[in-house]
């Protein structure tokens, strides 16, 4: 069987690319970490040699101006045709933490067809960098009805770590927020261990409606502030919690879902 | 030369201002009611105002939570505080902080790169700075204390109090 190929796009300041590569490789994919300068200088259709695109976490371009802004500006102005085509033909795309900020600020989420910024990830309500394990609720309704290919086979509540200073998800207006709810695009919400509405610090950033991760309507583009690549093995969890196979963490399921989808 | 100021929209909290207010209270200074922070940018070069407005709206400000103002200025010292933000009165003090000449301004360097990415090919020079509006009656000596202890590294930054 042909191996699934993953492109991990990095830039100055990206720092979660190796862990993301490890996660995809563990799931059976072949991974290339490609610097954006290399992608821009190479063949114009190079991106189409890959099945999955991942924008990993980090502090791209030092988070200068705002988190993810400079990289989002670069991709939008230099790669927009190619990246939009890649997304619209259904290839899985994931943005983790800084990658999520890039996807939202370039307008690829929540609506890649519109391709305009209609939401943002702003400063945490605490005004501080927040770094801890949080609970994420995949609401029954969402789990059953969302098209998100990345979050299949997950239980109602999972644990993942967050580490960010600008993760407060805000939409441009109420209409957009309603449409995200109506279309089941809100994939993860911060929650308590029992799946209830959390207060700070379990909701680390003050996101509207505790939003931690969203997808596009089609379900192939997924962005989230928590780091699934940091919970691949049960041993990475502070309480050594694992999913059914006793070895792996819930983060691995997310990467496995995308690889299985392409296969 | 153009001056760009970026403000949080009124419906959103000014997180950095709130953080500085909290830090100031730890210095034992209590008579400040509110602080608003906004990033400042100076852009110089053979660019039209339309280009600068594009830089301001598409690059330097967030379309959802922020708005910006663009004005012409002759030099760094021509402070042009926009009247729509703090209503200037004797109870508002404004502090501006910039890197000293010769100090590497990494944010400015990122902006120069991002301006090229925007498709503006002309060479621009950029400076990035900080503006704090402090609401309350505060003596010059206290303001100097706030700046030197909290807001600026005077080894590499210079400041002005208005």
Angle between helices A98-106 and A69-78 (to 10 degrees): 50
Q: How far apart are CA A59 and CA A102, in angstroms?
A: 11
The sign of the torsion formed by the CA atoms of B92, A124, B57, B39 equals: positive
**Looking at residue B79, what is its pLDDT?**
46
Cα–Cα distances (Å) from B32 to B9, B19, B36, B62, B92, in that order, read 21, 13, 11, 28, 10
Question: For residue A165, is pLDDT > 70?
Answer: yes
Query: How many independent structural domains does chain A possess?
Result: 1
DSSP code of residue A12: T
Q: How far apart are CA A17 and CA A196, in angstroms?
A: 33
Name all domains of chain B by residue range, CATH numbers in brackets.
2-161 (3.30.1280.10)
Q: What are A208's two structure tokens?
A: 């509207």
Q: Which residues of B touch A170 (CB under 8 A)?
A: 12, 64-65
Q: What phi-psi label fits residue A248: left (phi over 0), alpha (psi between -120 and 50 degrees) or beta?
A: beta
Q: How far apart are CA A31 and CA A23, in angstroms?
A: 10
Q: What is the pLDDT of residues A184-219, one digit of tens each?
A: 999 999 999 999 999 999 999 999 999 999 999 999
Q: Which helix (H) or strand (E) holds B96?
A: strand B92-99
| A73–B117 C-beta distance less than 8 A | yes
**Looking at residue B84, what is its pLDDT?**
44
The series of mean pLDDT values per 10 residues for chain B, 162 residues long, is 93 89 90 93 93 95 94 64 49 94 95 95 94 93 94 95 89
| B117–A78 C-beta distance less than 8 A | yes
Q: Annotate B36-86 with DSSP letters as a single string.
A: EEEEEEEEEES--HHHHHHIIIIIIS-TTTEEEEEEE-SSTT-----TTSS
- Domain with A60, as residue range(s), is 5-262
Question: Do residues B71 and B3 touch, judged by C-beta distance below 8 A?
Answer: yes
A170 and chain B in contact, CB less than 8 A: yes
**Looking at residue B83, what is its pLDDT?**
41
Question: Do residues B8 and B65 touch, judged by C-beta distance below 8 A?
Answer: yes
Question: Do residues A161 and A134 touch, judged by C-beta distance below 8 A?
Answer: yes
Catalytic residues of A: 97, 227, 229
Q: What is the CATH number of the domain that holds A21?
A: 3.40.50.880
Question: Considering the entire predicted model, what is its pTM?
Answer: 0.92
Which residues between 53 and 72 in chain A have a beta carbon less than 8 angstroms from any beta carbon of chain B?
61-62, 64-66, 69-70
Question: For residue A32, is pLDDT > 70?
Answer: yes
């Amino acid at each position: 069987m042909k191996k699934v190929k993953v492109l991990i796009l990095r830039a100055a300041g990206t720092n979660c690319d190796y862990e993301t590569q490890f996660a995809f490789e563990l799931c059976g994919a072949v991974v290339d970490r490609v610097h954006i300068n290399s992608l821009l200088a190479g063949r114009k259709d190079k991106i189409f040699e890959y099945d999955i695109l991942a924008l990993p976490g980090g502090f791209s371009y030092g988070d200068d101006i705002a988190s993810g802004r400079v990289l989002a500006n670069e991709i939008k102005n230099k790669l927009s045709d190619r990246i939009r085509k890649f997304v619209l033909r259904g290839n899985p795309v994931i943005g983790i933490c800084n990658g999520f900020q890039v996807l939202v600020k370039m307008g690829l989420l929540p609506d890649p067809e519109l391709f305009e910024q209609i939401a943002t990830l702003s400063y945490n309500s605490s005004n501080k960098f927040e770094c801890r394990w949080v609970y994420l609720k995949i609401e029954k309704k969402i789990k059953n009805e969302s098209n998100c290919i990345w979050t299949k086979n997950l239980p109602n509540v999972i644990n993942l770590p967050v580490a960010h200073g600008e993760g407060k998800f805000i939409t441009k207006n109420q209409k957009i927020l309603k449409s995200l709810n109506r279309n089941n695009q809100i994939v993860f919400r911060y929650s308590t261990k029992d799946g209830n509405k959390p207060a700070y610090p379990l909701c680390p950033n003050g996101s509207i409606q505790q939003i931690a991760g969203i997808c596009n309507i089609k379900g192939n583009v997924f962005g989230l502030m928590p780091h699934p690549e940091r919970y691949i093995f049960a041993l990475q969890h502070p309480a050594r919690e694992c999913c059914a196979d006793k070895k792996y963490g819930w983060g691995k399921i997310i990467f496995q879902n995308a690889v299985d989808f392409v296969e | 030369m153009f001056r760009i100021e970026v403000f949080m929209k009124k419906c959103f909290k000014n997180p950095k201002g709130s953080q500085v207010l909290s830090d100031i209270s730890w210095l034992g200074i209590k008579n400040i009611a509110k602080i608003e922070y906004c990033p400042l940018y100076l852009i110089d070069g053979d660019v039209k105002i339309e280009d600068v407005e594009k830089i301001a709206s598409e690059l330097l400000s967030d379309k959802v939570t922020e708005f910006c103002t663009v004005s012409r200025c002759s030099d760094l010292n021509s402070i042009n505080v926009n009247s729509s933000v703090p209503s200037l009165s004797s109870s508002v003090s404004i502090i501006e902080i910039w890197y000293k000449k010769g100090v590497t301004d990494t944010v400015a360097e990122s902006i120069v790169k991002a301006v090229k990415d925007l498709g503006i090919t002309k060479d621009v020079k950029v400076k990035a700075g900080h503006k704090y509006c402090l609401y309350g009656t505060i003596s010059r000596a206290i303001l100097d204390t706030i700046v030197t202890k909290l807001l600026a590294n005077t080894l590499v930054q210079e400041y002005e109090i208005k």
